[in-house]
Amino acid sequence: MKNDTTKKLTGKVAVVTGASKGIGAGIAKHLAAEGAAVVVNYSSSKEGADRVVKEIVKDGGKAVAVQANVAKKADIDRLFAETKKAYGQLDILVNNAGVYEFLPLEQVTEDHFHKQFNLNVLGLILTTQEAVKYFGAAGGSIINISSAASTMAPPSASVYSATKGAVDTVTKSLAKELGARKIRVNAINPGMIETEGVHAGGFAESDFRKQIEAQTPLGRIGQTDDIAPTAVYLASEDSKYMTGETVVLAGGMR
């Protein structure tokens, strides 16, 4: 562990949505290692969130787990009320919670559409709407986890890619809207990252993975620790003049 004077986020409070596993868990741990007190949000995986909190605390950091489905306004309100109760302030929001489902056009349904848009887009907007009420006069940083799919738009991902294209646009628009309040809004667009979700979805050993690796200049899919340091950068004063940007982290794949 670094000492407090060399940590970039000492005295800051961060909420990371969907942080019980995968990219969100990696970001939560890295923010905590840099001195932030972290609210590890989860929707259903209490066990995963508790494990992330335990790891952070074991390493000398501060964290609490808070359940909330960020596709629901009442849950979002409770998430930030609990954050205020635990830590008294908010400086960093990482909108990481999301869902993906790939289906060919013939199989797209209203449910398939709404499930992804309600969480990936509406949930992100409503979470941000509530969070900005808690930022202080010094402003803060909002980091939206988008996806390289927003521009690569793979086949059978019309709805998912559309949600992430929306996230990129929302990021730019909110950066302009919130800049006067010293709130910066940026997005990270990961390529294929090896997470529990990728394994559960059957992508980890798939031909799709091999195809991605073949097209990626760095020759591999990503790991969560390929993403988290950039989130720390965007959360910290190192990026104080940066807003409205989308940072693609996909090993050079375009």
CA distance 32 to 60: 9
Cβ-proximal residues to 75 (8 Å cutoff; 6+ apart), any chain: 67, 68, 69
Residue 246 forms beta bridges with which residues? Answer: 187
The DSSP result for 204-232, as a single string, is TTSHHHHHHHHH-TT-S-B-GGGTHHHHH
Q: Are strands 62-67 and 37-42 parallel, antiparallel or unpaired?
A: parallel
Neighbours of 44 (CB within 10 A): 10
Active site residues: 160
CA angle 153, 158, 162 (to 5 degrees): 75
Q: Residue 140 corresponds to which tokens in the numbers above?
A: 């803060």
